Amino acid sequence: MQSFAPATRCPISEFLRQRVNGRSRVKAWADHVEAWMAQPDVHLLKFEDLIHNPQHTLEHLGDLLNLEPQYVEPLLPQSPKNIWQGRWARLTQWRPESTAIIGYYKGQKTQKWKEAFTENDRAFFHEEAGDLLIKLGYVDSDAWVSRSPGSKS
């Protein structure tokens, strides 16, 4: 697990419920996102859209900014092909942006957030940020709370 704050090195159930400035981490996240979404010149850009359909997402972003996207293949950075390529990149301080966030770091597999949560975690998350999840399109009702992990809500 990669972490900068020792308090975050805990099970996800505990992490979700940790209090920061009087709010759970979930509520703090939801308040932060809601505050940004309330700004008139802020547009939602979903990470999932960028990963699953980068060209369409860049075109949409270009339209919003009145810019013509310049496509440089690959749209997402490539991982080093072997250990020597990685070492050379570090030595010369030339390397593409990290792909760790998309789950390719050291062979990690991405875990779907709904599968990582217990039913109690889902209920807590929904209580703290359910309206935002619906607004963002991640779920369409509170039915996801009691569904088995991985089922479509």
Residue extents of the structural domains in the chain: 6-145
Mean model confidence pLDDT for the chain? 80
For residues 151 and 57, which has the higher predicted lDDT (pLDDT)? Answer: 57
Please report, for residues 3, 26, 65, 153, the alpha-carbon distance to residue 145 in angstroms, rounded to integers and kept in the order given. Answer: 28, 15, 37, 9
pLDDT of residue 77: 62
pLDDT of residue 148: 63
Retrieve residue 34's tokens.
């809601």
pLDDT of residue 30: 97
CB atoms within 10 A of CB 112: 9
Rounded-to-integer distance, Cα 80 and Cα 89, Å: 8
Per the CB < 8 A criterion, the answer to whether 2 and 98 are in contact is no
Per the CB < 8 A criterion, the answer to whether 139 and 153 are in contact is yes
Rounded-to-integer distance, Cα 8 and Cα 103, Å: 18
pLDDT of residue 34: 96
What are the backbone dihedrals phi and psi of residue 124, each rounded to the nearest 5 degrees, phi first? -65, -50
Model-level pTM?
Answer: 0.67
pLDDT digits (tens, 9 = 90+) for 3-28: 567 777 788 899 999 998 999 999 99
